Structure 1
Amino acid sequence: MLMSEKAFGPKELLIIILGLLVIGVTTSLGFWQLGRAHEKEALNLQMDQREKAHPLQIGQAEVRLSRDVWRRAEARGVFAEQWTIYLQNRQQNEQVGFWVLTPLKLAGSDTYLMVLRGWVPRNFQAMDLIKPYKTPQGLTVIDGLIAPPPSEWFSFFAEPPGQVIRQNVNLQKYADFHHIKLLPFVLRQSGDLHDGLGRQWPAAKTGVGTNYGYAAQWFGMSATGVVLLLYFVFQRLRKTKSKRGAEGPTAPHVL
């Protein structure tokens, strides 16, 4: 007597379980990316509202970076031009150059605010030759957005705290070196002031489209897994049915 083959043995059941696991994981990752996209949309809306809100007066109003980041603000004071630093390898319009940062001594205070003033191109023949630009003298008003300190890039060498052209800047170490009180954020200056500095800053908004793209990829993988799993199950059922048909009816037992 021929033994009829089972459609789903241990091997087939293991494949089905693994397939369901892959489908579950990819679907979960797709929904996680959708959640991240919705969070970023809410954050972008919040950033738009902050940018359009009435400007904060730095030195008069309390500023908390976690609450006020990317909010428009104004500061009155005098630039400490002698303490200007240049962060190298910063790009604008696909050109390499420097970010220019100068501390501003706030009016009526001994506190300083680091102003990210703009960008200047690099001179590839002489890196330490900075293209001329203008610095306001005396009491001036700076308009811009409250921003986090510039991100620190990886470097093989530790930079002296007083170095002018540098890769990174740590605001606290900078303040300690110059013996000043420095606020823990920067003001990213806005506007075309015809001072020789470029201010075409990258958009501060988060990339919502990237998350939607990743979500589509994960859901696509999940859908592909469903199709392949259904095809596998269908093929096993059809193959088993064909074999059973080829075997013919089972002969009755004769006592």
Structure 2
Amino acid sequence: MDKQITSEFSAAKAEKAFGPKELLIIILGLVVIGVTMSLGFWQLGRAHQKEALNQQMDQREKAHPLQVGQAGIDLGSDVWRRARATGEFASQWTIYLQNRQQDEQTGFWVLTPLKLAGSDRYVMVLRGWIPRNFQAMNLLAPYQTPQGLTTIDGLIAPPPSEWFSFFPEPPGQVIRQNVNLSKYAAFHHIELLPYVLRQSGDLKDGLGRQWPAANTGIGTNYGYAAQWFGMSATGVVLLLYFLYRRLRKARTLGEAPDQAMPRAS
């Protein structure tokens, strides 16, 4: 009789070790582990996609150059593809994008539209970089612009990213923070291609062309993946510790009555 009472008492205590509250904690822990692990694998997938994009960009850069104005160039499929354009610079429409850096120095990006040979269309050429004069911003460093028909080698690039600005800039402003190609073309009444030809090569013309490599953020994705997997591993450890403590407590409660209650002789 005493043994039966002890057994029932132990079972009741063991059941209390995993009551509704404990079960809810276990379920929430599993959800957190599953979500953080899924996010970690998602970040890994993004990193792998960007690695494939980098390889594709390398292949495009090494491919045979396209001819701007003669080849059907699409920014989505041909971005960072090597290209060549022949025409004349419209130097009177040159603009300077400020606060652009090269070798940790602040300066300007020089952009000049090139009128394509045998065509009324233009392509915006990101020609290079010049340093800023901090005593007089309007005093620009000297550089050379080819006269007459010239051939430009470079890469097909997206338009310069637009930075935040508190004040709108007039379409005809020469030194500016941003440029919108469609608005620029409308202001000058020209047909401008929807991409930029980023000029390459050291031409001894006073312009720097140490362009930064395209940053696809692979390291950031791997960093986020490590953080999510770390959170997932922490969740697993905490959940296992919680289960261990509850099971140990249940076993302790189950053994205690056997020691306290007298045995029948």
TM-score by length of 1: 0.95
1:138 aligned onto 2:155? no
How far is the alpha carbon of 1:4 from its aligned partner?
2.2
Which residue number corresponds to residue 83 of structure 1?
A: 93
Which residue number corresponds to residue 44 of structure 1?
A: 54
Q: Is the 8 A contact 1:44 1:205 kept in 2?
A: no
Between the aligned partners of 1:135 and 1:247, the Cα distance in structure 2 is 96
Between the aligned partners of 2:100 and 2:150, the Cα distance in structure 1 is 26
The runs of 5 or more residues in structure 1 that have no matched partner are: none
Q: Which amino acid is the alignment partner of residue 115 of structure 2?
A: K
Which residue number corresponds to residue 75 of structure 2?
A: 65
Which residue number corresponds to residue 41 of structure 2?
A: 31
The runs of 5 or more residues in structure 2 that have no matched partner are: none
Which residue number corresponds to residue 7 of structure 1?
A: 17
Q: 7-16 or 108-117, which moves further after superposition? A: 7-16
From 173, 190, 202, the counterpart of 2:212: 202
Moved over 4 A (4+): 249-252
- Residue 61 of structure 1 aligns to a residue whose secondary structure is coil
How far is the alpha carbon of 1:218 from its aligned partner?
1.1
| Larger helix fraction of residues | 2
Between the aligned partners of 2:259 and 2:63, the Cα distance in structure 1 is 83
Larger Rg: 2
How far is the alpha carbon of 1:251 from its aligned partner?
7.1
From 55, 62, 66, the counterpart of 1:56: 66
1:170-185 correspondence to structure 2 within 5 Å: 170-185=180-195
How far is the alpha carbon of 1:243 from its aligned partner?
1.9
How far is the alpha carbon of 1:15 from its aligned partner?
1.0
Between the aligned partners of 1:216 and 1:245, the Cα distance in structure 2 is 43
Which residue number corresponds to residue 231 of structure 1?
A: 241
Between the aligned partners of 2:35 and 2:13, the Cα distance in structure 1 is 35
- Residue 106 of structure 2 aligns to a residue whose secondary structure is strand
1:196-219 CA-to-partner distances (Å, cap 9, x unmatched) read 111111102523222122212211
- Residue 17 of structure 2 aligns to a residue whose secondary structure is coil
Aligned residues, how many? 252
How far is the alpha carbon of 1:234 from its aligned partner?
0.6
Q: Which amino acid is the alignment partner of residue 223 of structure 2?
A: G
How far is the alpha carbon of 1:245 from its aligned partner?
1.4
1:67-125 CA-to-partner distances (Å, cap 9, x unmatched) read 10000000001000010000011111111111100000001111000000011111111
TM-score by length of 2: 0.91
RMSD (Å) for aligned C-alpha atoms: 1.6
How far is the alpha carbon of 1:29 from its aligned partner?
0.3
Between the aligned partners of 1:247 and 1:91, the Cα distance in structure 2 is 77
Between the aligned partners of 1:4 and 1:65, the Cα distance in structure 2 is 69
Q: Is the 8 A contact 1:47 1:205 kept in 2?
A: no
Which residue number corresponds to residue 98 of structure 1?
A: 108
1:189 aligned onto 2:199? yes
Q: Which amino acid is the alignment partner of residue 148 of structure 1?
A: P
How far is the alpha carbon of 1:249 from its aligned partner?
6.9
